Amino acid sequence: MLGMGDGGTPDGVLSAIPEQISAVGAAARQLEQTLRSALSSVSRDVDAVAWTGMSADAYREVWNHCHHDGSRILDSLAALSASLTDSAVGYEQPRNRRDRRLPISYDHAVLGRPG
C-alpha cells in the first residue's frame, strides 16, 4: 500500500511541498555546477601535462572516457535539477487552493503492489 514514506498519503492521494521540491532542485543544480567546475579544472590540468609515449596514450584514453562519462552524469544531474524546478512550479500554480494534494488514485496492479 502506498503510504506517507513513499510519496503518497494514507488515502492514496499524491501530495507535495513545492518548497522542498524546489530546494532539492537547487541543491542538485549547485552540486552539478560544483562538480562540472572540478571536472573542468582537472581537465585543464591533464591537458597541461607534457607527457608522451605509450603510457601517456593509455592514460589519455582512460581520462577521455572518464571525462566523457563524467560529463554525461553532470548533464543528467542538470536535467534532474530542471525537472524538479519545473515540478515545483507546477505545484505552486494552484497556490490559491488551500489543499495542494492532487486527486490521483494509484492502480496497485500497475505499480506491482498488492491492492
Model pLDDT for residues 37-80, shown as the tens digit of each residue: 999 999 999 999 988 999 999 999 999 999 999 999 999 999 99
Cβ atoms 111, 2 nearer than 8 A: yes
Q: Which residues contact 6 (CB under 8 A, 6 or more apart)?
A: none
Q: pLDDT tens digits for 6-25?
A: 555 566 666 778 889 999 99
User: Any idea which architecture 26-95 has in CATH?
Assistant: Orthogonal Bundle (1.10)
And the C-alpha cell for 4? 506517507
Among the listed residues 89, 71, 84, the one whose alpha carbon sits nearest the alpha carbon of residue 24? 84
Domain ranges of the chain: 1-16+100-115, 26-95
Q: pLDDT tens digits for 78-94?
A: 999 999 988 888 877 66
